[in-house]
Amino acid sequence: MQPAQSIDWSYAPAPETFPVEIQQEHGLFIGGKFVDPRSRKHFDTIDPATEKKLSRVAEAGKADVEVAVKAAQKAFKGWSRMRPAERAGYLFRIARRIQERARELAVLESMDNGKPIKETRDVDVPLVAQHFFHHAGWCDKLAHAVPGVEPRPIGVCAQVIPWNFPLLMAAWKIAPALACGNTVVLKPAETTPLTALRLAEILQEVDLPPGVVNIVTGAGETGRMLVEHPNVQKVAFTGSTDVGKRIARACAGTDKRLTLELGGKSPNIIFADAPMDQAIEGIVNGIWFNQGQVCCAGSRLLVEESVVDEVIGRLTHRMRSLRVGNPLDKNTDVGAINSRQQLERVNSFIECGVQEGADRIVCFDGALPDTGYWVAPTLFRGVQPAHTIAREEIFGPVLTVLTFRTPDEAIARANDTNYGLSAGVWTSRASKAYEVAAGVKAGVVWLNTFNQFDATSPFGGFKESGFGREGGRAGLAAYLA
Question: Any idea which residues carry the catalytic annotation?
Answer: 261, 295
Return the one option of Mn ion, ligand NAD, none that residue 227 interacts with (CB less than 5 to 8 A, by type): ligand NAD
Residue ranges in contact with Mn ion by CB under 5 A: 45, 112, 191
Nearest distance, CB of residue 112 and Mn ion, angstroms: 4
Nearest distance, CB of residue 217 and Mn ion, angstroms: 12
Closest CA to 198 of 328, 98, 114, 68: 98
Return the one option of ligand NAD, Mn ion, none that residue 190 interacts with (CB less than 5 to 8 A, by type): ligand NAD
- Of the two residues 191 and 214, which places its CB atom closer to Mn ion in the complex? 191
Under the phi-then-psi rule, with left for phi > 0, alpha for psi from -120 to 50, and beta for the rest, what region is 218? left
Q: Tell me which stretch binds ligand NAD (CB under 6 A): 41-49, 316-324, 350-358, 461-469.
A: 461-469
Distance of alpha carbon 139 from alpha carbon 176, whole angstroms:
9
- Of the two residues 161 and 398, which places its CB atom closer to ligand NAD in the complex? 161
CB atoms within 10 A of CB 122: 12
Q: Is 438 helix (H, G, I), strand (E, B) or coil?
A: helix
163 binds ligand NAD per the rule CB under 6 A: yes
- Selected binder of ligand NAD within 137, 220, 369, 382 (CB under 6 A): 220
Closest CA to 424 of 263, 270, 285: 270
Q: Tell me which stretch binds ligand NAD (CB under 6 A): 94-102, 239-247, 309-317, 362-370.
A: 239-247
Nearest distance, CB of residue 90 and ligand NAD, angstroms: 25
238 binds ligand NAD per the rule CB under 6 A: yes
Distance of alpha carbon 48 from alpha carbon 227, whole angstroms:
28
Distance of alpha carbon 180 from alpha carbon 169, whole angstroms:
18
Nearest distance, CB of residue 191 and Mn ion, angstroms: 4
Q: Is 379 helix (H, G, I), strand (E, B) or coil?
A: strand
> Which residues inside 281-320 make contact with ligand NAD, applying CB under 6 A?
295
- Of the two residues 112 and 464, which places its CB atom closer to Mn ion in the complex? 112
Pattern of binders to ligand NAD over 165-204, x per CB under 6 A? ----------------------x-xx--------------
CB atoms within 10 A of CB 40: 9
Pattern of binders to ligand NAD over 404-423, x per CB under 6 A? -----------------x--
Where helices occur in 114-230 by DSSP H, the ranges are 117-119, 125-138, 166-179, 194-205, 220-227
Closest CA to 466 of 223, 248, 169, 252: 248
Distance of alpha carbon 233 from alpha carbon 410, whole angstroms:
42
Please provide the size of the chain in residues: 481
Residue 65 identity (one-letter amino acid): V
42 binds ligand NAD per the rule CB under 6 A: no
Q: Is 389 helix (H, G, I), strand (E, B) or coil?
A: helix
Distance of alpha carbon 386 from alpha carbon 391, whole angstroms:
7
Size, binding site for ligand NAD by CB under 6 A: 30
Please report the DSSP string for 265-284 in residue order. --EEEE-TTS-HHHHHHHHH
219 binds ligand NAD per the rule CB under 6 A: yes
The site for ligand NAD (CB under 6 A) is made up of 160-164, 187, 189-190, 219-220, 223-224, 227, 238-240, 243, 246-247, 261-264, 295, 393, 395, 421, 461, 465-466
